[in-house]
Structure 1
Amino acid sequence: MRPDDIETLVSVGRPDIAPDGSFAVYATSRPDLTADRAVGQLWRVDLPAGEPRRLTRGVADRSPRLSPDGATVAFLRGDAKGRAQVFVVRADGGEPVQVTDTVGGVSEVAWSPDGTRLAFTARVIEPGRYGTVDGLDAAAEPARRITGIRWHANGLGYLDRPSHVFVVDAPSTETEPFYDPAPALEKPEKRVVPTEAHRITHGPTSWSGVAWNADGTEILSVPDAIESDRRDLRDRVVALTVETGAAREIVATAANLSVSAAQVAPDGTVFLLANDVGPTGVDFVAPGVALWVLEDDGPRRLTDAETVDLGEVGSHLSFDGDDVLVQDRTRGRLRLLRVSRGGEVVEVLGGDREVTGHAVAASRVVAAVAAPASFGELLVLDGDAAPRAVTDLGAAARERGIVEPLEHEITGRDGYPVHGWVATPEGEGPFPVILQIHGGPYASYGVHLFDETQVLVEAGYAVVYSNPRGSAGYGRAHGRSIRQAMGTLDYFDVMDFFDGVVSADPRLDAERVGVMGGSYGGYMTAWVIAHDHRFAGAIVERGFLDPASFPGSSDIGSFFGTEYVGTDPDAVAAQSPMAVVDQVRTPTLVLHSELDFRCPLDQATRYYSALKQSGVDAEMLIFPGEDHELTRAGRPRHRVERFDAVLDWWARYLPPAQP
């Protein structure tokens, strides 16, 4: 795979399925270099064996949700200004009808149980800010008064645009189109949407989630109020009365839960995806997200938080009778589980896959999955029959050429097993080897088609990558073992796995090696090159590099460093790449994004300046307009430019062929 082959990486979003199981709808997305953005549309496939057909032709349509009768699809589409709005379209095709015209854009949408209304969340912008007044640009806006512990977020910016809950009548898909008014002496009111949305929430508190109760009188949502003095990850779940906006608390902060999803089963039972953050309210390291059911005396946990991890990004719930379907990440896989109300857990879909979305109806399951040879496909499961793919979206990537990595487990220096993979070019080698390190740290490398690895293999490099202690998918003890001990067990595991697989394979050249990683991987790369000088070069990307300055600049600085490296200055310094930067001798490329608020730009500039002061051969590349998600969701041209810079760096310091 070459850098511009990222256009072949087609992902499948969370699908939905008709109530009778007769068809499914889903959205695809892929990077497009010509448009320089992600593009995608909605698709429909008749089940069990139909051919997918395009349902919409927008630029970036996503998040399809079928009405309760299966006749209409609500989805999100960017308007002329790129703001996500709700549209509806007939489930068998037709011209979509715009439902909303919000200034701040819509985040999520849900049908009422009777299919007559739509609830959605949208950001509300203070008049005069963010282009709401023609001719008033950002530099001319009034000053922002900040009194809380948080003020910005990666991918968003300032937190002065709270997300609120709205309800709107669902229009008929046969409604008359709306037309722009002609010029007139008395300008008529411009009607863009069929009906005015009814706003349910108000004030500075932001809300996430819109889950209707069984009779359609209330909407469940999770408020997020900015704390004044200290961070608190404990959430409340509130039932909002649709007609009046009255709030009824159904889960209080006393439950000590951080809630990532609240959903209502068809019989009205409330389920949560949540993790216990302890009495301090900030214990988030290896959080152990579990499935909970809400009972009269409070939430009851149904899954074992120590061994079952439901916290993967995009994890959600589907209901099948009394059972709940959830996604569990384990050893680089994401499997689909069925959980009963008694807590019995049964695997529905496993194997070398990552389940990224699912829906179920009439005993038929559809699942969006990624796999070693495909970035995304839609699978159908009927009873005990083997899962069957109804798409072949990975064909283009396979035609360009991909290598499926080999899985290994190495025993580390203290006897601990370390799990990971090696991807190698065709031939006998010996090949130069690049050690890749993932972000997080509570994240993991998986089995899906990974462009980062494939591009390096295509260029002639073997790539070694693992899930050391601190990673997700191996139990909470594995994830929590580096709490306030970063750069210890995780460093040992990364290096032991690397040494183990390189020494065991004569195709891997132990004398020609490099190291790279992003976010926590950037932290660990910087840590590695301060303690091990064998590497010909290094790439430190969007790194957590200076824990001492992190609390005052990162959007998660109010709790991340406190939990991971602690607060004692000596202990923080003992885990800090900046504290040992003077030990680095390895030529280092520092990659960062201008609008990265997770690991802010000053983390990179301080580290780069220190390298220069120490006489290290170093360069820095900063991407304008990008945030922490550059490698996954940045502009496609920037992603290709970054790949070109990575390959250029390795060609200079670690040529793929012997001289």
Structure 2
Amino acid sequence: MSAFDDIRDYVAIPRVLSLKLSPDGSRLISAVQSLNPDGKSYGTALWAIPIDGEPYRLTRSAKGESAAEFTEAGDVLFTSARPDPTVKDATDEVPSLWLLPRSGGEARQVAARPGGVGAFRTAGDVVVFAADVLTGEEAAEEERRKTRKDAGISAILHESYPVRYWDHDLGPGHTRLFAARLGADRLEDVRDLTPDPGEGLRDVTFALTPDGATVISTWRTLLPDAEQRVDLVAIDVATGERRTLFTQEGHDFYGPIAVSPDGTRVACARERLAELDVSVRIDLWIGDLATGAGRTYAPDLFPADVEWAPDSSAVYLAADQRGRRPIFRVPLDGEVTRLTQDDAAYLGLNASADGRFVYALHSGVDRTHGPARIDTATGEITDLPSPAPRPELPGTLTEVSATTDDGTTIRGWLTLPKGASADDPAPILLWIHGGPVASWNDWQWRWNPWIMVQHGYAVLLPDPCLSTGYGQEMIDRGWGNWGPRTLADLDAIVDVVVARDDIDGERIGAMGGSYGGYMANWIAGHSDRYKAIVTHAALWNLDQFAGTTDAAQYWQREMGEPGSERYAKLSPHHGLDSITTPMLVIHGDKDYRVPIGEALRLWWDLQRRNVESKFLYFPDENHWILKPGNAVAWYETVLAFLGQHVLGQEWKRPDSVA
């Protein structure tokens, strides 16, 4: 039996989420997610990974632990909602900051806030952390939160846009940054660095200079017409004085943020804001901390993660490239070189103090995340023992490509079940990635092709227009032309794959989520080659979507104001009368990026046009289906629906949704 045969076994596979290297280079620490004993939820724990030894578990609380950082002394700071054992009848509901001594023993709580402790950074004996704080007198905040709760008040009064983000409501509190000093037992001299931030620190990303003197942080400014701009600011830890470091009209600056070891430069991402005829572009930006002068580096490499070389002469950059995410070395002066030459995707970069190695999470379409060591001189990659061993896959991965009508080469990955051959060709599923500015280049827990491979399907994972890793021109090709241009790209690569003798092109389905769901809906109204279509968290009526998504200003930059020409041209709902393919509609009610109204309208439209269809609805999920039981229901329902329409099996309602 394979872990991909029974979805319950699959959701129980442990998952490595992060990687941090200790200051002395002797060990790594990782947050690992695994199924809780009740089987209904996931928990996280911290694991140590000695450089020359086997991983071992560090923490075991019922609430779980995450966001680990090493102190200069080698102790481990982390966040957890576990109760403080030194406080009588403590029942913490929000995360606080904890310290696990390097020498061993129990972790102790070192900082707590009524609204919880969020992200944090440390340098020397300085700790800076983010916390959600209600407006008003800080000393009375805990009582005011209790009063709201006891009175049953959940209302939030907004005076600016936006009001929610991905899967959570914004407010009534605002994020602030606090600085403190590591004391013997707790954080001492805790100071509010940003007492009146407004929306400035919403969705904040920040870093701390090596001397602990300055915080480098994103800062959001609200503009007229419900627009906004994100700058990078420098905040003095001693005084709280804030100065703008990087700002540029028509651009946002944000994470990943990394400060050079010599404390003189900052590396981050700079995004060109889109317009109707100007596509989004993301660059690596490196600037001087003292003057704010800077420039872009490594054009066409969208930064996914950044780490400085210990001598501050270069940065290591993880960026998408042709279905992979290699590590590149980007010197301040000189040519960009690719460090890793394999097919993997890298994140969580950590450079050793002696400059010999970069440690990173090493993964790919065909491998789960695990720790690896990369030799910076040779590029040699060594897999390290992992807290979560990789499961054996039920098939093989191969690369495919096609030439489109405009002469562009489109490539993708094809997963094949064992035994697929001319004598026994496999049915095929087209899976379209979300984004749309994204790529199929990494392991996917939510959209995992190997489950389908285990059940006999080949899965095509293409990177059409708007995909990253192919230069800016690939994004430009599809900008403001989502449906028609993307469908032409998909048709070209599907034609190549179904011509293979190990693929049964008569048994073919299509799937997609988010932007991929938009394309699934577009395909339904513009093609009849597929036997079944699965559309998850999908855009359907663009005019409706434009005013209800959580980031309407971002959408409007590309598509224009609601009711403009592109809505009429690109909205999938205009193809309703041409839909004959059976469709499975899937959506979570807590999805604020693509609100539930899209699915409700699509479902109603399919029903009133008598299109064979089903609606899998998750009242408590968001853009992603995260709970283990719901993931089981998702995959089992999709497999049953595809089995009926692609394989010709009799419909059987899965037990998980019975």
Same fold (TM over 0.5): yes
Residue of structure 2 equivalent to 1:90: 101
The 10-residue stretch of structure 1 (203-212 or 585-594) with the greater mean CA deviation from structure 2: 203-212
SS at match of 1:509: strand
Aligned partner (choices 619, 641, 647) of residue 633 of structure 2: 641
Q: Which moved more, 1:122-131 or 1:581-590?
A: 122-131
- Give the 3 Å change call, closer, same or farther, for CA 603–137 of structure 1 in structure 2: farther
**Cα offset for 1:152?**
0.9
Instruction: Tell me what 1:183 maps to.
Output: none
Shift of 1:283: 8.9
**Alignment match of 1:11 (pick from 15, 22, 36):** 15
> Within 5 Å, which residues of 2 pair with 1:142-181?
143-172=155-184, 175=185
Q: In structure 2, give the amino acid aligned to 1:20.
A: D
**What amino acid maps onto 1:388 in structure 2?**
T
Structure 1 stretch displaced more, 548-557 or 144-153? 144-153
Q: Look up the SS of the partner of 1:257 in the other structure.
A: strand
2:394–2:417 contact (8 Å) kept in structure 1: no
TM-aligned CA distance change 1:166 to 1:470, over 3 Å: same
Counterparts of residues 233-272 of structure 1 (less than 5 Å): 234-254=229-249, 256-272=251-267
Residues 142 and 510 (structure 1), Cα distance of their counterparts in 2 relative to 1, 3 Å cut: closer
- How much does 1:139 deviate? 9.3
> Which residue in the other structure is 2:418 paired with?
426
Q: Out of 534, 540, 543, which is 2:538 matched to?
A: 543
The yes-or-no answer on 1:290 pairing with 2:284 is: yes
**Partners of 1:408 and 1:421 within 8 A in 2:** yes
- SS of residue paired to 1:579: helix
Number of the residue aligned with 2:64: 60
Distance in 2 between the 1:640 and 1:162 partners? 36
Q: Which range moved further: 122-131 or 567-576? A: 122-131
1:565 CA drift (Å):
6.5
Q: CA deviation at 1:607?
A: 1.3
Q: Which amino acid in structure 2 is aligned with residue 637 of structure 1?
A: G
Residue 32 (structure 1) shift: 4.6
Match of 2:342 among 351, 355, 358: 351
Of the candidates 43, 48, 55, which is equivalent to residue 44 of structure 1? Answer: 48
User: Are the counterparts in 2 of residues 256 and 277 from structure 1 also a CA contact under 8 Å?
Assistant: yes
Letter in 1 for 2:302: D
Q: Which of 382, 401, 406 lines up with 2:398 in the alignment?
A: 406
Tell me the equivalent position of 1:317.
307
How many residues in Structure 1 have an aligned counterpart in Structure 2? Answer: 624
Moved more, 132-141 or 117-126: 132-141
Cα deviation, residue 270, structure 1: 2.8
Q: Which moved more, 1:195-204 or 1:581-590?
A: 195-204
Q: Matches of 2:169 and 2:109 in 1, distance apart?
A: 27
Matches within 5 A, 1:54-133: 54-58=57-61, 59-69=63-73, 71-80=74-83, 81-112=92-123, 114=124, 116-125=125-134, 133=145
Which residue pairs with 1:202 in the alignment? 195
Aligned partner of 1:147: which letter?
E
Q: Are the aligned partners of 1:103 and 1:125 in contact in 2 as well (CA < 8 Å)?
A: no
For residues 328 and 523 of structure 2, the distance between their equivalents in structure 1, rounded to whole angstroms, comes to 38
The aligned amino acid for 1:611 is: L
Counterparts in 2 of 1:406 and 1:227: CA distance versus 1, 3 Å: same
Secondary structure of the 1:544 match is coil
TM-score, with length taken from structure 2: 0.88
Counterpart of 1:187?
none
How many angstroms apart in 1 are the aligned matches of 2:511 and 2:151?
37
After superposition, residues 155-554 of structure 1 pair within 5 angstroms as: 155-172=167-184, 175=185, 195=188, 197-203=190-196, 204-207=198-201, 208-227=204-223, 229-232=225-228, 234-254=229-249, 256-277=251-272, 285-294=279-288, 298-305=292-299, 307-310=300-303, 312=304, 315-322=305-312, 323-361=314-352, 362-363=354-355, 364-384=357-377, 386-392=380-386, 395=389, 397-398=391-392, 401-427=393-419, 428=421, 429-448=424-443, 452-503=448-499, 505-554=500-549
> Does the CA contact (< 8 Å) of 2:14 and 2:34 recur in 1?
yes
Alpha-carbon shift at residue 132 of structure 1 (Å): 6.5
Shift of 1:293: 2.2
**Residues 329 and 522 of structure 1: CA distance in aligned 2, closer, same or farther (over 3 Å):** same
Whether the 8 Å contact between 2:283 and 2:298 is mirrored in structure 1 is no
- Structure 2 unaligned blocks of 5 or more: 84-91, 652-658
Q: CA deviation at 1:214?
A: 4.5
CA spacing shift, 1:252–1:395, aligned 2, 3 Å: closer
Q: List per-residue Cα deviations over 1:475-517 (Å, max 9, x = no partner).
A: 11101211111112211111211121111x2222222211110
- Per the normalisation by structure 1, the TM-score is 0.87
Alpha-carbon RMSD: 2.9
SS in 2 for 1:147: coil
CA 1:156–1:658: 2 relative to 1, 3 Å: closer
Structure 1 range deviating more: 491-500 or 559-568:
559-568
Change beyond 3 A, Cα 1:137–1:350: farther
Letter in 2 for 1:198: R
Aligned-residue offset at 1:623 = 0.8
Q: Give the equivalent residue in structure 1 for 2:655.
A: none
Partners of 2:278 and 2:596 lie apart in 1 by: 24
| Greater mean alpha carbon deviation, residues 316-325 or residues 607-616 | 316-325
Q: Displacement, 1:638?
A: 1.0
